[in-house]
Structure 1
Amino acid sequence: MESCCNARCGLIAGAVIGAVVAVLGGILIPVGDIIIEETVKKESVIEPGTPAYENWVSTGASVYRQIWFFDVQNPQEVVERGVSPVLVEKGPYTYTVGYLPKANITFNANHTVSFLMPLGAIFVPRMSVGSENDTITSLNLAVAGAYTLVPKLLHTILETMIRSSNSSLFQRRTVKELLWGYQDPMLKEVVGLFSPYNGTYDGYYNIHSGKDDVSKVGIIDMWKGSKSLSFWNDAYCDMINGTTASSFPPFVDRTKPLYFFSADICRSVAALYEQTMDLKGIPVYRFGLPSSTFASPAVNPANHCYCKDVKTTKNCTIAGVLDMSSCQDDDRIHPQVFQENPSEYDVRTIQGHHGAEESQGLHHLPRRLDERVGGVGRRNGGLAQEGAGGQHPDAGHHPEDDAGLRRGRLRRLPYRVLRGPEETQQDADRLSQSKSCCGTFSY
Structure 2
Amino acid sequence: MTQGLSIMAKSSSGIRRGILSRKYTILSNLVITNNSQSFDWFIRPPVRAVYKIHIFNYTNVEDYETGKAKKLKVEDTGPYIYRETLTRVNQVFHPNGSVSFQEKRSFQWEGGSPDDEIIVVPNVPLLAALSIMKDRSYFIRRGFSIFLSAHGIKAFVSVPARGFLWGYEDNIFTLSQSTFSQAIVPLQEKIPFDKFGVLAHKNGISGDTITINTGADDMSKFGMIQLINGKNKSKQFWNDDKCDRIHGTQGFMFPPGTFDHPNATIDVYSLDMCRTLSLRSHGSGTSFGIPSLTFKPPTDIFTLSPSSENYCYCPESSSGSEVTRQCPPAGLVNSSACSFNLPFLASFPHFYTGDKILREKIDGLNPQAELHESSVELHPRLGVLIGGHSRMQMNIQAQEAPSIPHLHPIEDGQILPLIWLDVGIDNIPESMLTIFKHAYFTAAAAEMSIQYGSIVGIFLPLCTLFYIIRKQRIERRAALKRNASEMSQIKLLDAIKIANI
Task: Give the letter for the 1:344 counterpart.
Answer: I
Asked whether the equivalents of residues 205 and 220 of structure 1 are also in contact (C-alpha less than 8 Å), the reply is yes
Whether 1:174 aligns to 2:183 is no
1:173 deviation in Å?
0.5
Whether 1:245 aligns to 2:251 is yes
Task: Flag the 1:282–1:51 CA change in 2: closer, same or farther, 3 A.
Answer: farther
1:275 deviation in Å?
1.4
Task: Give the letter for the 1:208 counterpart.
Answer: N
1:163 deviation in Å?
1.2
1:117 deviation in Å?
1.2
Instruction: Select 2:233's aligned residue among 225, 228, 249.
Output: 228
Alignment correspondent of 1:205: 210
DSSP 3-state at the match of 1:41: helix
Whether 1:43 aligns to 2:29 is yes
Alignment correspondent of 1:95: 82
Whether 1:217 aligns to 2:222 is yes
Instruction: Select 1:396's aligned residue among 396, 399, 404.
Output: 399
In 2, the alpha carbon distance for the partners of 1:27 and 1:333 equals 58
Whether 1:380 aligns to 2:393 is no
Instruction: Select 1:355's aligned residue among 348, 355, 367.
Output: 367
1:270 deviation in Å?
0.6
Asked whether the equivalents of residues 57 and 121 of structure 2 are also in contact (C-alpha less than 8 Å), the reply is yes
**TM-score normalized by the length of structure 2:** 0.73
Asked whether the equivalents of residues 40 and 250 of structure 1 are also in contact (C-alpha less than 8 Å), the reply is no
More helix by share: 2
Alignment correspondent of 1:147: 130
In structure 1, the gaps of 5 or more residues are 1-21
- Report percent identity of matched pairs: 20
Task: Give the letter for the 2:255 counterpart.
Answer: P
Alignment correspondent of 1:405: 408
In 1, the alpha carbon distance for the partners of 2:116 and 2:316 equals 35
Task: Flag the 1:38–1:404 CA change in 2: closer, same or farther, 3 A.
Answer: closer
1:245 deviation in Å?
0.6
Asked whether the equivalents of residues 210 and 218 of structure 1 are also in contact (C-alpha less than 8 Å), the reply is yes
261-270 vs 148-157, which deviates more?
A: 148-157
DSSP 3-state at the match of 1:119: strand
Alignment correspondent of 1:335: 345
1:195 deviation in Å?
2.2
1:46-57 map, 5 Å? 46-57=32-43
1:394-433 map, 5 Å? 395-398=398-401, 401-403=404-406, 405=408, 410-427=411-428, 428-433=430-435
In 1, the alpha carbon distance for the partners of 2:144 and 2:403 equals 13
Task: Flag the 1:54–1:169 CA change in 2: closer, same or farther, 3 A.
Answer: same
1:291 deviation in Å?
1.5
1:249 deviation in Å?
1.8
Task: Flag the 1:440–1:96 CA change in 2: closer, same or farther, 3 A.
Answer: farther
DSSP 3-state at the match of 2:100: strand
In 2, the alpha carbon distance for the partners of 1:41 and 1:342 equals 43
Asked whether the equivalents of residues 241 and 261 of structure 1 are also in contact (C-alpha less than 8 Å), the reply is yes
Task: Give the letter for the 1:433 counterpart.
Answer: I
Task: Flag the 1:91–1:55 CA change in 2: closer, same or farther, 3 A.
Answer: same
**TM-score normalized by the length of structure 1:** 0.82
Count matched residues.
Answer: 402
Task: Give the letter for the 2:314 counterpart.
Answer: C
Larger radius of gyration: 2
In 2, the alpha carbon distance for the partners of 1:346 and 1:280 equals 36
Asked whether the equivalents of residues 119 and 202 of structure 1 are also in contact (C-alpha less than 8 Å), the reply is no
1:191 deviation in Å?
1.7
1:366 deviation in Å?
1.1
In structure 2, the gaps of 5 or more residues are 1-7, 176-194, 319-324, 448-501
Task: Flag the 1:370–1:50 CA change in 2: closer, same or farther, 3 A.
Answer: farther
In 2, the alpha carbon distance for the partners of 1:263 and 1:113 equals 18
What's the C-alpha RMSD, in Å, of the aligned pairs? 3.0
Q: Deviations over 1:224-265 (max 9, x none)?
A: 110011211011111211111121123533322101101011
In 2, the alpha carbon distance for the partners of 1:102 and 1:326 equals 25
Asked whether the equivalents of residues 73 and 88 of structure 1 are also in contact (C-alpha less than 8 Å), the reply is yes
In 2, the alpha carbon distance for the partners of 1:155 and 1:175 equals 31
